[in-house]
């Protein structure tokens, strides 16, 4: 495991940092940078890349919308030509890079997989290239998504801003809790185990929901067909059949109507005509 680089950035930290377990240490994103690489790079902006460059198929242009809970997807990606991608080669990502949203939904993060290597980032994303021997990039993603410290830090650096946003300097100074490398692997394994259990639970709930829907339909079907109370009816034969019940209801309604009609004629001081019951 590589050692965390020394830096004075922590002295300027805008938030207080809690104590960590033995063997852990606080570091900034800048301290975790891969040697010989630019640790943080913002995507191209201005006239470098515009809507006129977008085509139906080609090299993916990653946007904030590509940073989903399940990872980096192409659902909200645009596409540019190979020539345009070569012009923007500096902004192409490689497997293991980390993506961080710099505006709008600040703080969303994702890990670039082999399938997305060569894609280009747009202006609303920043590419992080950290030393994987110091901090496993998967743990960085989990940390960003779940850390109260990250939320507090982003809130502080955005204090007084007219809109949410973070710049390269802010991201380089963002604090990261770094466990020993062996502990990192155990944490990641446990998170993925629990997430797998959660996924299985969600799947089981969806299956149960589908079964309940079918059961509800079966109950209603049995009810309207008389099967739901078949045993009860065998023990409690009705005093009148359905046709008899319907006939009684119709006679009662007719009697009530005739009473109302006679009352109306009496109130008006008139006698009902000979054919008033028709």
Residue 8 binned pLDDT confidence (cut-offs 50, 70, 90): very low
H or E, element range at 27: strand 25-28
Residue 243 binned pLDDT confidence (cut-offs 50, 70, 90): confident
Q: Where are the domains of the chain?
A: 9-179, 238-278
Angle of helix 181-224 versus helix 137-146 axis, rounded to 10: 60
Pairing mode, strands 78-80 and 71-72: unpaired
pLDDT at 178: 95
Residue 244 binned pLDDT confidence (cut-offs 50, 70, 90): confident
Give the pLDDT confidence of 35-86 residue by residue, as tens digits: 888 999 999 987 788 889 999 999 999 999 999 887 899 999 999 999 999 9
pLDDT at 180: 95
Instruction: Please give the Cα distance from 145 to 108 (Å, whole number).
Output: 7
| Residue 60: strand, helix, or coil | strand
| Residue 52: strand, helix, or coil | helix
Give the pLDDT confidence of 126-137 residue by residue, as tens digits: 999 999 999 999
What contacts 212, CB < 8 A, 6 or more positions away? none
pLDDT at 7: 56
What contacts 105, CB < 8 A, 6 or more positions away? 64, 67, 164
DSSP 201-223: HHHHHHHHHHHHHHHHHHHHHHH
pLDDT at 162: 53
The answer to whether the beta carbons of residues 60 and 116 sit under 8 Å apart is yes
Residue 10 binned pLDDT confidence (cut-offs 50, 70, 90): very low
Q: How many other C-beta atoms lie within 10 A of the C-beta of residue 221?
A: 11
H or E, element range at 186: helix 181-224
Instruction: Please give the Cα distance from 140 to 110 (Å, whole number).
Output: 9
The answer to whether the beta carbons of residues 138 and 130 sit under 8 Å apart is no
The answer, yes or no, to whether residue 184 has pLDDT greater than 90, is yes
The answer to whether the beta carbons of residues 153 and 2 sit under 8 Å apart is no
pLDDT at 224: 83
Instruction: Please give the Cα distance from 38 to 127 (Å, whole number).
Output: 9
Instruction: Please give the Cα distance from 123 to 101 (Å, whole number).
Output: 9
Its CATH architecture, for the domain 9-179, is: Alpha-Beta Complex (3.90)
3-state helix/strand/coil string of 116-140: HCCCEECCCEEEECECCCCCCHHHH
Cα 245 to Cα 229, 234, 250, 252: the distances in Å are 18, 18, 9, 11
Q: Whole-angstrom distance between the N-terminal and C-terminal Cα of the chain?
A: 100
Of 89-103, 151-165, 181-195, the range with the lowest mean pLDDT is: 151-165
What contacts 189, CB < 8 A, 6 or more positions away? none
């Amino acid at each position: 495991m590589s050692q965390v680089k020394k830096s004075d950035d922590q002295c300027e930290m805008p938030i207080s940092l809690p104590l960590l377990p033995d063997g852990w240490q606080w570091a900034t994103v800048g301290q975790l940078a891969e040697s010989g690489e630019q640790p943080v790079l913002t995507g191209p902006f201005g006239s470098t890349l515009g809507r006129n460059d977008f085509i139906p198929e080609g090299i993916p242009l990653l946007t904030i919308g590509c940073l989903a809970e399940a990872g980096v997807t192409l659902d909200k990606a645009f596409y540019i030509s190979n020539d345009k991608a070569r012009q923007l080669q500096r902004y192409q990502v490689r497997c293991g890079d980390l993506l961080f949203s710099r505006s709008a939904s600040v703080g969303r993060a994702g890990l670039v997989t082999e399938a997305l290597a060569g894609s280009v980032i747009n202006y609303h994303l920043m590419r992080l290239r950290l030393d994987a021997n110091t901090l496993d990039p998967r743990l960085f993603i989990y940390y960003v998504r779940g850390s109260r410290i990250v939320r507090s830090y982003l809130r502080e650096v955005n204090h007084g801003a007219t809109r949410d946003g973070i710049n390269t300097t802010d991201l380089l100074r963002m604090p990261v809790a770094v466990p020993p490398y062996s502990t990192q692997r155990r944490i990641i394994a446990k998170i993925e185990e629990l997430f797998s259990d959660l996924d299985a639970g969600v799947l089981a709930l969806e299956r149960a929901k589908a079964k309940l829907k079918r059961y509800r339909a079966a109950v209603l079907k049995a009810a309207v067909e008389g099967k739901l109370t078949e045993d009860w009816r065998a023990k409690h034969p009705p005093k009148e059949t359905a046709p008899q019940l319907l006939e009684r209801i119709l006679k009662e309604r007719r009697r009530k109507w005739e009473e109302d009609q006679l009352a109306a004629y009496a109130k008006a001081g008139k006698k009902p005509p000979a054919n008033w019951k028709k």
